[in-house]
Amino acid sequence: MIAFVWVLLQELITGKGVITTFTEAKSFDEVVVPAAIAGVFFLGMTMLTVKIALGDEDDPLDPDAVLKELNAIDDVVKEELAKKKQRLQ
């Protein structure tokens, strides 16, 4: 999906497809922008992959942790509703 977005952006910026840009280039100057875009893309993807791979050991979708957070939110909402009822009486 990310590669598709990269190709789409390159085609929008340069007006040509990636392969066409490289094959029709007559000098190195015509390949600088596409190569820079590709370099930034691959560097970003590498950094993102490393960040995900070295990330926390905690599972953000751990059912017990999610349930605990939802219960805490529920308790806060119940307290606020009780306070509002007391003010209205």
How many domains in the chain? 2
pLDDT in tens, 28-65: 887 887 788 788 888 988 998 888 788 766 776 778 88
Do 43 and 77 belong together in one domain?
no
Do 41 and 72 belong together in one domain?
no
Model-level pTM?
A: 0.46
Do 51 and 66 belong together in one domain?
no
Do 30 and 6 belong together in one domain?
yes
- Beta-carbon contacts of 41 under 8 Å, excluding residues fewer than 6 positions away, are 2, 6
Do 49 and 34 belong together in one domain?
yes
Kindly state the percentage of the chain with pLDDT values over 90: 20
Whole domain around residue 87: which residue ranges? 61-89
Distance, CA of 89 to CA of 79 (rounded, Å): 16
Neighbours of 85 (CB within 10 A): 9
